[in-house]
Amino acid sequence: MGKVIGIDLGTTNSVVAFMDRLEPKVIINEEGGRVTPSVVGFSKAGERFVGEIAKRQMLINPEATIHSVKRFIGKRYREAGRDIPLVNYEIVEGKSGDAAISVAGRLYTPQEISAFVLQKLKGSAEDFLGEPVTEAIITVPAHFNDRQRQATKDAGTIAGLNVLRIINEPTAAALAYLHDRKKNATIAVFDFGGGTFDISIVNINGDIGEVRATRGNNALGGADIDRALVDWLLEEFRQEHGVDVSGDRIVRQRLRDAAERGKIELSTAMETDIQLPFLTADASGPRHLQVALTRATFEMLVGPLLERTIEECRKVLQESGMGVKDIDEIVMVGGSSRIPRVKDLVKEFFGRPLNHAFNPDEVVAIGAAVQAGILEGEVKSVTLLDVTNLSLGIEVEGRRFAKLIPKNTTIPAQKVQLVSTVIDNQRAVKIHVLQGESALASENVSLGEFELVGLDAAARGSPRIEVKFAIDASGIVSVSARDGRGVHNQITIRAPTGLSKAEIEDARAEADAHQSRRDKASESTELRFTVEKQIVALETLIREHKAVLHKQDAAEAEQALKRGRMALAKSTDKGNLQDTSNYLKRFAAHLQEKLTAVHLG
């Protein structure tokens, strides 16, 4: 097994880490940063960018810049409605009713866009480690359902990664805590990121951590705070100028960018000025936005959102059977946990110290790296038991939901359920698998339906079919069945919005082909840069030794320079550039030898 990396695939930013002997370390990307924006951009020429370079084009080309795609992964289009206003690109209904992204003249699944980010992280890891990387641990919000977990795993496969484990983000943070501290404590992991919120209660006893309960909201994060500020700025602009600019995507992106900057500045300042000159223009001329945003106004605007995180904390304590006095400390995770009002609310609710020992942007990736070390065998003194975030069950008579594996059950977990026929001589039984907490089947998440066929003809209720439902350590569901004749049938529940194996392979082949083209283009760019340096070096050599340079040598030098410049001007062929580079190298060495001989003579 090669090096296994740990990846925090975030809504806003992503981080990749690995275990260096017994210490987890964050990997530096090609741009020299520790975090990589989870942004994919497309140029008009069809070129694709990932990370910081893609983020820079959001203001000028928002419709072709994909961000916050994590809010759509594994979702149907009808489920994505409340998240669509958060983005400026086009979300459409794709295959089987799933959410898809329309950009650059084609449709992409959220899995494919996420794979582009993962491919970027994979490349950073390979450059940093100096070896191929094929295996990874990827984190997801604790409240992700089976469809979203499977979709995340599919994204990893498309990116060329064997995803060994999907783990919950607060669980990863708890792993980082457990690896670093190793003391008995009951902690609350408060994970408030760019797109999601999770809260987990974890009991740590020596080298063993056990998640007691977890809750979350996949539609509550920094992006929602930014949207509240954007709506306020739009209203301020409308009141001052009498113009509604909410339908202009470039304007909304400028406002979103300003809102994010203002939010960050208010973490250390009591007031910030938001100035956007030439926000729009009409017949009367340009219209500018200039407004002061105080911390008090900010806290008033986002107060209802922040209160929802405390409500989740209240509920998770109830589910864990604990009170606030049972919590020793709170580990703050995610960029939005830096907001002063968030810290105050958490302190007021728990009445316990906040742990700021970890970088909130990196701690999840650090924990994923620890999990990677456990699977590699490098880390042997740490064990963490996770729980299922949603109840698993089936639809029964009356369209009700029967729970088989309750929420907060330690995973891996399994449950055997006996099913039978409801009419005489029934030859097939259909089972509808669901996740959720509602008593009504229709209000839960459908993981899929499967049918057991080929049953022996018998009176209703006579066949005894054992159906085993299992949730693995990644939180992914599978089902197997055994009838009275001992015939075993293995069924893997795949989300209705999931990609088929063939579609995943096609997407992976396309991603590999694109990466191969990028690699070749990068090699050509490096060769061009090498030829340019060689031309400059040769020009300098000629200029510095012009007085002693033989006429024939000077003429040959000019021909060499001409060949180099023509290669740069006309050739994109890697072979030609390499030949030119080799020629210039030999000629420069030959000329240097002659000049050395002249000086020695």
Q: How many Cβ atoms are within 10 Å of 43's Cβ, its own excluded?
A: 13
Residue 312 bears catalytic tag: no
Helix segments in 351-456, DSSP class H: 363-376
| Three-state DSSP class for residue 321 | coil
Closest by CA to 577, choosing from 525, 522, 537, 538, is 525
What is the C-alpha to C-alpha distance for residues 599 and 332, in angstroms, rounded to an integer?
Answer: 69
Q: What is the DSSP string of 475-516?
A: S-EEEEEE-TT--EEEE----TTSPPHHHHHHHHHHHHHHHH
Q: Dihedral sign for Cα 377, 382, 383, 388, please.
A: negative
Contact indicator for 555, 591 with CB cutoff of 8 Å: no
What is the C-alpha to C-alpha distance for residues 134 and 125, in angstroms, rounded to an integer?
Answer: 10
Contact indicator for 214, 316 with CB cutoff of 8 Å: yes
Q: Which is catalytic among the residues 3, 8, 122, 407?
A: 8
Q: In the block, which residue shows the tokens 């480690």? A: 129
What is the C-alpha to C-alpha distance for residues 33 and 27, in angstroms, rounded to an integer?
Answer: 9
Pairing of strands 106-108, 99-103: antiparallel
Residue 70 bears catalytic tag: yes
In 412-459, where do the E strands start and end?
413-419, 428-435, 445-453
* Cα–Cα distances in angstroms (integers) from residue 137 to residues 7, 124, 161, 365, 430, in the given order: 6, 16, 9, 9, 35
Q: Which is catalytic among the residues 83, 146, 169, 260?
A: 169
Q: How many Cβ atoms are within 10 Å of 299's Cβ, its own excluded?
A: 17
Q: Which is catalytic among the residues 3, 55, 70, 153?
A: 70
Contact indicator for 407, 437 with CB cutoff of 8 Å: yes
Contact indicator for 232, 291 with CB cutoff of 8 Å: no
Q: What are phi and psi of 555, to 5 degrees?
A: -65, -45
Contacts of 306 (CB under 8 A, 6+ apart): 299, 339, 341, 342, 345
| Three-state DSSP class for residue 367 | helix
Residue 191 bears catalytic tag: yes
Closest by CA to 94, choosing from 114, 80, 115, 83, is 80
Closest by CA to 63, choosing from 101, 24, 19, is 101
Distance, first Cα to last Cα, the chain: 61
Radius of gyration of the chain (CA): 29
Residue 573 bears catalytic tag: no
Q: Which is catalytic among the residues 191, 198, 260, 312?
A: 191
The CA angle 289-290-295, to the nearest 5 degrees, is 125
- The conformation of residue 76, written as its DSSP 8-state character, comes to B
What is the C-alpha to C-alpha distance for residues 446 and 397, in angstroms, rounded to an integer?
Answer: 16
Contacts of 97 (CB under 8 A, 6+ apart): 76, 77, 78, 496, 497
Active site residues: 8, 70, 169, 191
